[in-house]
Structure 1
């Protein structure tokens, strides 16, 4: 394919599948891609742009409740929206995104009729919000495929339930579903746990044992917390994914396997691949079908449905639900379940009283926000800085009725710089 000169994105705000038109010297080529999409010049990138100005892992496009977002992955030449270099920004209708010398133009179209799953449940998962029903539709497509799946989401969102749902709806449903918690294995044990070993192959190997991948033959192996897999083991897993064979420790021969791989992580694997702390080639091999599990903050409209589920259909006190709507939920659905269990054990009044003194909304304005300790410092600082800019500008715009000149005076900033920040964060006057 000739080098791309321009990209056009017809992105549906309420649909999970954007339409991308890649302009080449021979004409436009339409690409069907579903966010999250990693853009870069690497062979395994979801959207590969073979230009010297585009980094191997350049940026990521993701669909959120308020539209399409782009996040720079520490690229060399930067990611620009409307001419402003950004770390992360929402792409509004008509936005122009530049990656190196490649250009993406964003257009929003009406939602597709078949974008949402028709029910409020999918196997063990529940949710009537659009963001969940879009995910259910994507899970149905993933279940019908044999491709490797990477499930990403914050702690407590239910990533293992998602993996189990994919298996249970797939043609492998009658086969085994084998779970490997990569975070719980020491570096000395992980190879044996994954690939197995022969008797006497190392100290303590008193018998021959099949590894998790062999045990999942005919079914699915779920590699939970894949980001914690030691770098020394990553080439070996990559070889298994590519060859579809496994070799036990101490063995000479490779054993063919018939296994579907599903991996999961709460960490930013694309960022880790860009930074070199996770193998880029393994990341692309795992992220053939990426699934993003929404945080509870993105699906607050599901609170009542989830509460009813966790209380086995019992009525939930409206005061308790109101308190739940005010919370930040860093532990997501798992934290909600614990919250409701405490209410059942201690009584609603005690739980609400305790929550009112500890919830983020009741903290003093100088309180330290929730810190994600699994995120690199530079990335976390960049997120906080962007969030500070976004909230500060939005607050001033609300206070001054959208008057940009008044906002510039209040912030003691140049008016043109305020406009640049507004474009960066997708804010309008």
Structure 2
């Protein structure tokens, strides 16, 4: 039996070579549409969504051991219940979907009633936030980003704090303000204090920024007090999404000492709607940067745990053309997802299915690979030119930020779609 990642697989659905969603990808998401009651779980294939609830209703999953929750598990507002079935169930569903969509399988292709019920064009649906995270952690795992910030705000000769190369630095963020791609982001109000001011003022942030990140979805929880050895860390990861962790730099810089980010970060984070599984990303596994000094034993990795995911950021002013202002790569991350998860659980903190763990800003070593306006415009000292002749130090009202991510190798492309958000003016008061 051909495996879902086989690069030779073809679908009976016409899929463009540049599509993010070939038959080898099959990411999971949640959608709804006007003519049907309630949300459904779906899989992206080309320009279509395969409705998993409809697939189950037509009996295509009947011989899979998905337990008593099937097919109701596919009629939910989030992937959490499906993820809770465990890795054998995820793989069984992905395998069956792959079989149904293969060019030489007539089971769904030649059943006109089933095909009309199970396939819907992506442009005809509304995508929802893919998971309902009860917890959200944001890491700080790009050595280029951490170094740049250290140079800007501290001693350039000692840009990295002493602990940075020893532990994956992170903080616990606000899960309730994570929204799906396409949701507008309102400029936050907050306290800011200029360096030469005697006292802070309150009002709209003047240094609104994006952060190019990726996030992984916890697929297997743990009990309070339980730890996760590094060799088993990826067993607890369902898949990855694109993540824009919007940031109000002026609010953040005033409030973050001594306890860290708070209102400068919690006003909104945007997530892409499709979760790409680790299984789909397996062909794109790469080694990360050499870690020096060698991490403590509980964080040491023997295998490659990074993934070669190309990333792009577009900035589009209102009623104007978009400009690609950054190109980076997830494979550059100093601390891997496995190390992040193992460290997070090392004190016995319990993991919960659906939790989101973001990478932190992903910056590269070149000026065009920086993952935030803070770095691209170097704290406002070198404005970023745009295609319409304007320039930006930070984001303005009406600006739309779009991030994309994809892997490419040997003619195969596995993509994440995009995560996008438009900046609205701050609320009055």
Q: What range describes the TM-score normalised by the shorter chain of this pair?
A: under 0.3
TM score, norm. by length of structure 2: 0.24
The TM-score normalised by the length of structure 1 is 0.24
Greater gyration radius? 1
Higher helix share: 1
